[in-house]
Amino acid sequence: MRNKLVIFFVVLSFLQSPLKVQSADNIVFVDLNFIFNNSSAGKKINDQIQKESKKNNLEFQEFKKKIDNDKEKLIAQKNVISKEEYQKKFFQLEKKVNEFNMNIAKKNDDLVKLRNGAKIDFLNKLSKILAEYSEQNQITMILKKENLLIGKTKLDVTKDVLDLFDKNVKKLSIK
């Protein structure tokens, strides 16, 4: 009887003691924009986009100078040429401006498509790297830093993922 009483008190004391439960979940976060802007492949894409943008801006400025010059010439000829001829030249000048505006809009759309295509390729390659990283480091969940309100800095694995991305991805394809 005494053994049963001892066992009963041991079990009772075990049940009353607070149990500490530790979560086996491992959650981290990553700054995707930082990786895109600082990876070697991302820097190459960003440089290419900046060059295209500068080229478009230079072309726009040159065209603007040419149009301003043509307008000045037309205004100077206003009293010399007939009203119909003036109207005709004015409409031709306006047509050039409209055509150029459509051309610039198309180039800007192409630039946006270039960037979006590179981002899609980036995210596809990064997701594969993140899957491997999470498996190797027993990570349950990886969150985007942009979606967090606050988090411990030790949970930020952006630098590690950036190193892996640079090691595995040398170039992003543009679609």
**Which is more confidently placed, 19 or 83?**
83
Let me know if 35 is exposed, middle or buried by CB neighbors in 10 A (0-12, 13-18, 19+).
buried
Residue 13: pLDDT band with limits 50, 70, 90: low
Please name which of 63, 44, 58 lies closest in space to residue 114, comparing C-alpha atoms.
44
Task: Give the pLDDT confidence of 137-148 residue by residue, as tens digits.
Answer: 999 999 998 888
Q: Which two tokens stand for residue 139?
A: 């990570």
- Quote the pTM value: 0.67
Residue 163: pLDDT band with limits 50, 70, 90: very high
The whole-number pLDDT of residue 147 equals 84
The whole-number pLDDT of residue 1 equals 61
The whole-number pLDDT of residue 20 equals 43
Domain locations in the chain as residue ranges: 24-168
Q: Which two tokens stand for residue 125?
A: 């390659």
| Average pLDDT score over residue span 10-26 | 51
Tracing tokens 């491992």 back to the chain, one arrives at 26
Residue 81: pLDDT band with limits 50, 70, 90: confident
The whole-number pLDDT of residue 160 equals 92
| Average pLDDT score over residue span 150-154 | 85
| Average pLDDT score over residue span 51-74 | 90
Q: What is the mean pLDDT of the chain?
A: 83
Please name which of 114, 110, 143, 116 lies closest in space to residue 48, comparing C-alpha atoms.
114
The whole-number pLDDT of residue 25 equals 61
Asked if 174 and 59 count as a contact pair (C-beta separation under 8 A), the reply is: no
